[in-house]
């Protein structure tokens, strides 16, 4: 039984070394990926600034695509509400 115990201990030691090497390799890859700069990439840290307005009196929400359109794009009033020209 001494040989089996020694083999188990060696196996555990190998697994530990493999796990440590694997963790180090993953950490190295992550560090490389974080510092990688792609050519032509937008490097702005700015968030998008959008002004959000409520639906205006001359606009409607299409009952099929749920987009807000100007009244000039109203095709017809369907059973479930207005339908835009793109969806008709």
SS3 74: strand
The model's pLDDT over 28-65, given as tens digits with 9 standing for 90+, comes to 888 877 777 777 766 666 667 788 889 899 999 999 99
Q: Beta-carbon neighbour count of residue 7 at 10 Å?
A: 10
Identify the helix (H) or strand (E) that includes residue 68: strand 68-70
pLDDT confidence of residue 31 = 82
Q: Which residue do the tokens 């009244």 mark?
A: 71
Name the DSSP letter for residue 6: H
pTM of the model: 0.45
List the domain boundaries for the chain.
Answer: 2-84
Give the length of the chain. 88
Q: What angle do CA 67, 71, 75 make, to 5 degrees?
A: 80
């Amino acid at each position: 039984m001494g040989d089996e115990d020694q083999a188990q201990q060696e196996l555990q030691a190998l697994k530990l070394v493999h796990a440590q090497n694997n963790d180090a390799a993953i950490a190295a890859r992550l560090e490389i990926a974080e510092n990688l700069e792609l050519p032509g990439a937008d490097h702005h840290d700015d968030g998008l600034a959008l002004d959000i307005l409520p639906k205006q009196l001359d606009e409607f929400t299409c009952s099929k695509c749920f987009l807000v359109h100007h009244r000039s794009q109203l095709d017809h009033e369907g059973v479930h509400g207005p339908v835009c020209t793109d969806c008709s």
